[in-house]
Amino acid sequence: MKKVLSVLVLPLAATLAIIYISSCGFQSEPVAFVSATPSTGSTLQQNASITLTFDGEPTGLKVSAGTAITSGRNAIISGPFTPGPLALTLTWDDGSHVLNYTVEGEGRSTDPVTATPERGEVLFYTGEVWWITEAAAEREARTAITSLDSAPGGGIKSHLTHDEDEVKRWMLQTMHNRTVDVLVLYGDVPGTIYPPGNALPDGSVAEEWLETTDGDTILNHADWFFWGGGNGKNQEAGLQNIMDIPGITMWGQDTPMIVTNRGKALTPSLRNFSSDRPFHLDRLEGDWFAELILASNTGDERATRADPVIVRDGNLGRIAIVYQTQDEVNPKGTVAAEIIKNYLIK
């Protein structure tokens, strides 16, 4: 009997010791800061609230402004905050962290208890172009950049690149950042974001970028979206793979486009013209829908063909086409900037 008892007691004692040691070890892990929403660098309303996430419960949390309520691994800091720059210091038993915000002053609405998100960015790529010369594409891009610089609220950050590797890097950086970013192309697509010859029909950087709830947008001018330039690297399958719509094409040389009411309101520089590669709205499938029709074959929203138009994949990314014309001079840069300033990045 004695022997049996010791056989039972010893493993039990060892198990309890292991549980004790491991629970002590778990409790002594320092709790670290993970993220804040809105993120540091954002602009806030005075009555905003900020949600913090830690990797464990932050005991003894104190904040240098506002009121903090802790709930498990999260904490909510509520205003009012004093207008001007805000360096919000968080301290808790295991550490400290500083978040920097700009709090909007008097005269602005303080009603919503939400924060203004950071603004997205725009990248123009002119390293490969088709149905427009590189020089003309650069001129249009620079016109758009000048216009975006003067957007209300301090301008919209944008830049021009010829480097296809930079396009990929930038897309990876701006993916999943909860802001609408816009890539502008001129009738061709770099292989770094969509491997040529439709080598990656699913999962390319371009497709991944369009499949987050950021609402990121690829805006294309001149030739067919993702056709792939003079060599026709991708042809019809490029757009079809990106949208996952097998039947969609952009055929339609010289299709008259009439500016819609929303077009007149949002893109004052847009005039009636003939599109050579209009979007086929009657071929949209799945969650794709025409979000903003600026000009169409009917001049209204019941159209089957449109250019410029923004189509969107449910609550995910967007494809915009603007002046899909063959070697024609249009105010591509001006109208693109109007769409971005007045609609996509406000």
Using DSSP bridges, classify how beta strands 62-63 and 273-275 pair: parallel, antiparallel or unpaired: unpaired
What is the nearest approach in angstroms of Ca ion to the Cβ of residue 21? 45
What is the nearest approach in angstroms of Ca ion to the Cβ of residue 212? 7
In whole angstroms, how large is the CA radius of gyration of the chain? Answer: 27
Two tokens, residue 223:
């030739």
What is the nearest approach in angstroms of Ca ion to the Cβ of residue 243? 7
184 vs 151: CA distance, rounded Å: 17
- Which lies closer to Ca ion via its Cβ, residue 171 or residue 257? 171
What is the nearest approach in angstroms of Ca ion to the Cβ of residue 109? 25
Q: Which residues pair with 123 in a beta bridge?
A: 159, 183
- Which lies closer to Ca ion via its Cβ, residue 174 or residue 297? 174
What is the nearest approach in angstroms of Ca ion to the Cβ of residue 74? 24
- Which lies closer to Ca ion via its Cβ, residue 214 or residue 307? 214
Q: Could you list the residues that contact Ca ion (CB under 5 A)?
A: 174, 177, 179, 181, 202, 214, 216, 241, 244
Long-range contact set of residues 159-163: C-beta below 8 Å, sequence gap at least 24: 159/122, 159/123, 159/124, 160/123, 160/124, 160/125, 160/126, 161/123, 161/124, 161/125, 161/126, 161/127, 162/125, 162/126, 162/127, 163/127
Using DSSP bridges, classify how beta strands 95-103 and 84-92 pair: parallel, antiparallel or unpaired: antiparallel
Structural contact between residues 156 and 148, judged by C-beta atoms closer than 8 angstroms = yes
Q: How many helices (H) and strands (E) does the chain have?
A: 7, 20
262 vs 260: CA distance, rounded Å: 5
**DSSP alpha helix (H) spans, 115-201:** 134-149, 164-174
- Which lies closer to Ca ion via its Cβ, residue 78 or residue 179? 179
- Which lies closer to Ca ion via its Cβ, residue 166 or residue 244? 244
- Which lies closer to Ca ion via its Cβ, residue 20 or residue 289? 289
- Which lies closer to Ca ion via its Cβ, residue 99 or residue 239? 239
CA distance from start to end of the chain: 81
- Which lies closer to Ca ion via its Cβ, residue 241 or residue 275? 241
The 10 Å Cβ neighbour count of residue 342 is 14
Structural contact between residues 340 and 237, judged by C-beta atoms closer than 8 angstroms = no
Please name the residues in contact with 331: beta carbons below 8 A apart, sequence gap of 6 or more. Answer: 143, 269, 270, 323
What is the nearest approach in angstroms of Ca ion to the Cβ of residue 269? 26
Structural contact between residues 36 and 74, judged by C-beta atoms closer than 8 angstroms = no
C-alpha angle with apex 133: 127 to 139, nearest 5 degrees?
80
What is the nearest approach in angstroms of Ca ion to the Cβ of residue 75? 26
| Residue at shortest CB range from Ca ion | 214
- Which lies closer to Ca ion via its Cβ, residue 244 or residue 291? 244
